[in-house]
Structure 1
Amino acid sequence: MENPVDVKELIPEFFYFTDFLENQNGFDLGSVTWPESEHVSAHLHEWIDLIFGYKQRGPAAVEALNVFYYCTYEGAVDLDAIADETQRKALEGIISNFGQTPCQLLKEPHPVRLSAENATRRLARLDTYSPNVFENLNQLKSFFVEGISDGVPLVQAVVPENQAHSFITQGSPDVLVTVSANGLLGTHSWLPYDKNISNYFSFTKDPTISNAKAQRFLSGPFAPGVEVSSKTLTISPDGKLLFSGGHWDNSLRVTSLSKGKVIGHITRHIDVVTCLALDLCGIYLISGSRDTTCMVWQVLQQGGFSSGLAPKPVQVLYGHDAEVTCVAISTELDMAVSGSKDGTIIVHTIRRGQFMKSIKPPCESSLPATVSNLAVGLEGQIIVQTTVAGRSSLKDKFALHLYSVNGKHLSSVPLEEQVTVLCVTEEFVVLGTMQCSLQILDLQSLQAAVLPMPMKVPVHSVSVTKEKSHILVGLEDGKLIVVGAGQPSEVRTGQFHRRLWRSTRRISQVSSGETEYNPPESK
């Protein structure tokens, strides 16, 4: 550590996996004071200057005592030009011993990173996108957009994250996909931002929804006791395909959203498929079944778009003793996670199907607990919601648990309401409940980040748009609610129409004055 010609670089875990810094075995390692994050941010440019910038070479490097053996620098030695094999091997050994200096990327000083306060202030001045809802939790408002299917629960409402737009169609609407409990499919137009209206967004309802002859439905019938829900449905990131389970023949089906027709039909489970999940990139899909198994499937690609599923699963995962109730998957972290009626969560690897860990959430009751919902965070956090069977009251019936990527239990909190749907962002957990509320919790503490937002009826679906600009909420009465942040006082309200750039289609804008959703407080 004291060798002046040796350099110690940070291992990758420093940047994404803080668990390794925790002294879980309780060894006496003394104490050390780590610099505060704001201090690190304020001096980060100095490190960049040394490693990648103008202080890497030349007089500035000499002045900064940042000079290394000449063989370590890019382009200093052309090994291919050395004919003498002995000399070349000697130089290769020297380079291997001293390491290699990174490429010099900058010839001028790197600017100082903005503080969190200044960055927030600058973002607030920009008008190219809607405010991030999670950075403006004290300004949240609910807007009623449309009744998608009156009286029929809206079980899925999502804006797929990787929709393709060519240069010509930049600025055109994204597709917002909805699925109702009766299988009615909708592909609506969605623009997350328009500074001319107080909602910050515009939405155009799919005209086929209201046309009996043009309506598209998810093909059935469905197995007895299975309801079409957000657990049995998942949509490809490019917005082209809908994957569905719950069918009477135990099949996993692939439906084209544009045509409303089944283009894939695979039966590998020996009982009904109860839950599905896709990874963020749309590479792998995981299915869980009443047969107690999970299967990992590869999503096929054609022309840059999802085209279906491989006919055979990549992995068949075992370990549960009862029906699998919920699944989650992260290709980046090689994690396939499943929860079951037997009260366990099991973690497997995707690529090898290797069993990694079984987790049993804590429960004070002697009654069995079911894993009702789960999700995996971007850093591998496992968020689990459990339900204790047989309790007539809500007290201590529901709980939420947080585990690290390694399965270490971090925290648990009781819930006063029954969770119907759950999703996770970088720092928050968003819950929809049977008791008609939308809740946003801090991911680390599982405590409420803001007061629950009342909804008039139970919540059946929750999703966060890709810009983190809105939360889409599907209700039991078929309404779509959009939760956004802020309402600038300088914009005018009312009904607006504008022509999209390079588009002949007109989008009907809705105003906050006419659409703000203010149900009475739940009792």
Structure 2
Amino acid sequence: MESPADVKELIPEFFYFPEFLQNINGFDLGSLQMTHNDVTDVLLPQWALSREDFIRKHRKALECEHVSSHLHEWIDLIFGCKQRGEEAVEALNVFYYCTYEGAVDLDAIANETERKALEGIISNFGQTPCQLLKEPHPPRMSSENASRRQARMDTLPPNLFEQLDKLRPFKEVVYDGRPLVQAVVPRNQNRSFIIQGSDVLVTVSSNGLIGTHSWLPYDKNIANYFTFTKDPTVANPKTQRFLSGLFAPGVDLSTQVLVVSNDGRLLFSGGHWDCSLRVTQLGKGKLVGRICRHIDVVTCLALDLCGIYLISGSRDTSCIVWQVLQQGEFSSGLSPRPVQVLCGHDQEVTCVAISTELDMAVSGSKDGTLIIHSVRRGQFLRTLRPPGESCLPTRVTELQVGMEGHIVAQTALEGRTAGKEKYSLHVYSVNGCLLSSVSLEEQVTALYLVPEYIILGTQQGNLHIRHLHSLALAVSPLPLKVAVRSVSVTRESSHILVGLQDGKLIVVGAGKPEEVRSGQFSRRLWGSTRRISQVSSGETEYNPTETSGK
């Protein structure tokens, strides 16, 4: 490893594929000469807890600040000014002459034996890439300098997950006394139809009342970097918008059966008495689509990250993948023809998740299993059964898939006595390897994934943030004292939006921005400065002690 003549390169598998370190197929790889022990799995260094931990730390090292600060030096050696000439000699970056581009013209060699010999040498030593740069490549800006520059530009809110020790909850009363079961800021909005330059924050209450509020995540003069303007139609009985149709007995309106399109224009809903999947236009609250393909009630829905495919699960034990139709740049409905119909469960499907990028659709069921299918072909990939006491029935109650394919699921184990259920949280790799499991003292009622963390809301009124890979707590639970019904994260990762049983929206931010005492502030809209009233600027900090005492 220390010899300058021994050039080693790490293949891409070292940074994403832990299974290549394991002899899964049990091939006979021979034995060691000294000890005569069989050669099987790759032995890991002491600093790696597992194969997955080894790969994760490799990738983290590749993406660390040290590598970034020296990246230009590698470019100079491989593609730049130190590839050839005197600078290459000084950098000990000289290889056999046949490996360089243009060093040998094989077509000009008449002697076939000599030509084959040179071809063998080139094949053995490899080929040096084309030289692209003659001047030294500039160094990459450090993360510290980039942060300072971004702060000076003052355009983006701070990332909440970089300041977990500074969490601050603020409250907004959206539905007074009526549970807030959905609160989300859609990812790919073109523009707000409420306030130009702001986004739409969609809320749904337990009785189907829809709200499309104005949300602005950043303003340096506003406390906690957000502005919330409540939708006036929510409080006016004449303009209120509701989900149409009755819901089936035993179905609670929740995030499991409600999904908002990525552009914030459509609301997909399940749980209806007629086993339908419905599409509602959020702007007018108008029903624009109704599809009946399941033969029993739709129990769960999920949308992929790109907003292209929607997956539905049902009491009929099947799942269906649907394509979201686009008209221009906007979502217009669902294609009536299913993309895939997925089967395999023995009991009701309780939760689903989908990742088009990774070509995987995951479903959880009351039968205690997780089943993974491919999206494009509908092919069965594998069944996962989370660990638990085999003598007692277990069901999967919550499910999410991360950007790198991590599968996070909550299971509920029926107790030996009524009302004594035991809850556990499990995380699997993209290839179905169990990475970690932990028993929970609280029931998770809302689950959300970001690249490195899991956000959990519980029935007991706490907000947990755990590390994705180890499931260890990243910070002490945030007590909200009221049962959590929904959890989501804004697209800038600047805030966590939490819907509570009492109808309040809790906005969790981080940092110490400038405080604004007044409930009114000046803001530039449509090219002119105007005064806005009845707009929350985040100055009402949430005090759960006062709430619980009322």
Q: Same fold (TM over 0.5)?
A: yes
Deviations 1:25-49 (A, max 9, x none): 7836466699882543443332233
1:263 aligns with 2:288: yes
1:403 aligns with 2:416: no
Cα deviation, residue 479, structure 1: 1.1
Distance in 2 between the 1:105 and 1:286 partners? 48
Report what 2:522 is aligned to. Answer: 498
Cα deviation, residue 454, structure 1: 1.5
Given candidates 423, 443, 457, the residue that maps to 1:432 is: 457
1:211 counterpart SS class: coil
Given candidates 299, 316, 319, the residue that maps to 1:291 is: 316
Deviations 1:184-223 (A, max 9, x none): 1111111101110222110111121122111111111111
Given candidates 352, 358, 361, the residue that maps to 2:377 is: 352
2:203 counterpart SS class: strand
Cα deviation, residue 520, structure 1: 1.8
Given candidates 472, 475, 485, the residue that maps to 1:447 is: 472
What's the Cα RMSD here? 3.8
Report what 1:152 is aligned to. Answer: 178
1:473 counterpart SS class: strand
Given candidates 120, 134, 137, the residue that maps to 2:161 is: 134
Structure 1 residues 236 and 105: alpha-carbon distance in aligned structure 2, compared to 1, 3 A threshold: farther
Cα deviation, residue 247, structure 1: 1.1
1:101 aligns with 2:129: yes
Q: Structure 2 counterpart of 1:502, which letter?
A: W
Distance in 2 between the 1:475 and 1:124 partners? 33
The answer to whether the 8 Å contact 2:212/2:231 transfers is yes
Structure 1 residues 5 and 101: alpha-carbon distance in aligned structure 2, compared to 1, 3 A threshold: farther
Cα deviation, residue 17, structure 1: 4.0
1:163 aligns with 2:189: yes
- After TM superposition, list the pairs within 5 Å mapping 1:70-469 onto structure 2: 101=129, 104=132, 107-112=135-140, 114=142, 127-145=154-172, 147-165=173-191, 172-364=197-389, 366-390=391-415, 397-469=422-494
The answer to whether the 8 Å contact 1:402/1:410 transfers is yes
Structure 1 residues 447 and 122: alpha-carbon distance in aligned structure 2, compared to 1, 3 A threshold: farther
Cα deviation, residue 495, structure 1: 2.3
The answer to whether the 8 Å contact 1:48/1:110 transfers is no
Structure 1 residues 246 and 128: alpha-carbon distance in aligned structure 2, compared to 1, 3 A threshold: same
Distance in 1 between the 2:407 and 2:228 partners? 33
The answer to whether the 8 Å contact 2:415/2:421 transfers is no
Structure 1 residues 49 and 155: alpha-carbon distance in aligned structure 2, compared to 1, 3 A threshold: farther
Distance in 2 between the 1:264 and 1:223 partners? 18
2:224 counterpart SS class: coil
| Gap regions ≥5 residues in structure 1 | 78-89
Q: Structure 2 counterpart of 1:496, which letter?
A: Q
Deviations 1:462-500 (A, max 9, x none): 000000000001111111110000223x54432232233
Distance in 2 between the 1:491 and 1:303 partners? 42
Structure 1 residues 32 and 229: alpha-carbon distance in aligned structure 2, compared to 1, 3 A threshold: closer
**Percent identity between the aligned chains?**
63
| Gap regions ≥5 residues in structure 2 | 27-38, 48-57, 105-115
Distance in 2 between the 1:269 and 1:100 partners? 58
2:273 counterpart SS class: coil
2:296 counterpart SS class: coil
Size of the alignment, in residue pairs? 507
Distance in 2 between the 1:102 and 1:21 partners? 33
2:161 counterpart SS class: helix
1:130 counterpart SS class: coil
The answer to whether the 8 Å contact 1:328/1:376 transfers is yes
Structure 1 residues 520 and 31: alpha-carbon distance in aligned structure 2, compared to 1, 3 A threshold: closer
* TM-score for both structures, normalised by structure 1: 0.85
Distance in 2 between the 1:27 and 1:348 partners? 30
2:545 counterpart SS class: coil
The answer to whether the 8 Å contact 2:226/2:538 transfers is no
Given candidates 39, 51, 76, the residue that maps to 1:49 is: 76
Structure 1 residues 12 and 284: alpha-carbon distance in aligned structure 2, compared to 1, 3 A threshold: farther
Given candidates 32, 40, 43, the residue that maps to 1:27 is: 40
1:510 aligns with 2:524: no
Distance in 1 between the 2:306 and 2:532 partners? 30
Distance in 2 between the 1:278 and 1:339 partners? 15
Distance in 2 between the 1:29 and 1:229 partners? 46
Point out the structure with max Rg over C-alpha: 2
